[in-house]
């Protein structure tokens, strides 16, 4: 599991949600081991992106690719601040 906490300005929340489908489509097309993702809105403009990977190696390979596709870039561009990124396993 990949858990990323980030901040988005209030004016970008609608655009972030609109960009989400493109990001997910790009992950499905280009990221081996991508199993799914959930986006959680917290308070004060913070969000959690909870992404499930088949293996830690798949997550590492995805991280190395970064924002290599337009849908991913569009989503990432709306993030104002990366707060934290954690990796764990689902039990």
Task: Tell me the mean pLDDT in the region 25-39.
Answer: 97
Nearest CA among 71, 63, 57, 84 for reference residue 24: 71
Q: Render pLDDT for 57-89 as a digit per residue (tens, 0 to 9).
A: 999 999 999 999 999 999 999 999 999 999 998
Pairing label, strands 2-7, 81-87 = antiparallel
What is the DSSP track for 15-30?
A: HHHHHHHHHHHHHHHH
Mean pLDDT for the chain?
Answer: 96
pLDDT of residue 43: 85
Would you list the domain boundaries of the chain? 2-85
Closest CA to 69 of 27, 20, 12, 19: 27
| Topology (CATH) of 2-85 | Alpha-Beta Plaits (3.30.70)
pLDDT value at residue 59: 95
Q: Any idea what the Cα angle at residue 79 is, between residues 56 and 88, rounded to 5°? A: 20
């Amino acid at each position: 599991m990949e858990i990323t906490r980030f901040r988005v300005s209030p004016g970008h929340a609608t655009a972030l949600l609109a960009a989400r489908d493109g990001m997910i489509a790009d992950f499905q097309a280009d990221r081996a081991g991508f199993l799914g993702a959930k986006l959680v809105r917290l308070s004060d403009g913070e969000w959690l992106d909870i992404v499930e990977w088949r293996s830690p190696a798949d997550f590492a390979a995805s991280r190395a690719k970064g924002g290599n596709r337009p849908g991913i870039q569009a989503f990432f561009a709306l993030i104002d601040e990366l707060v934290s990124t954690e990796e764990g396993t689902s039990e």
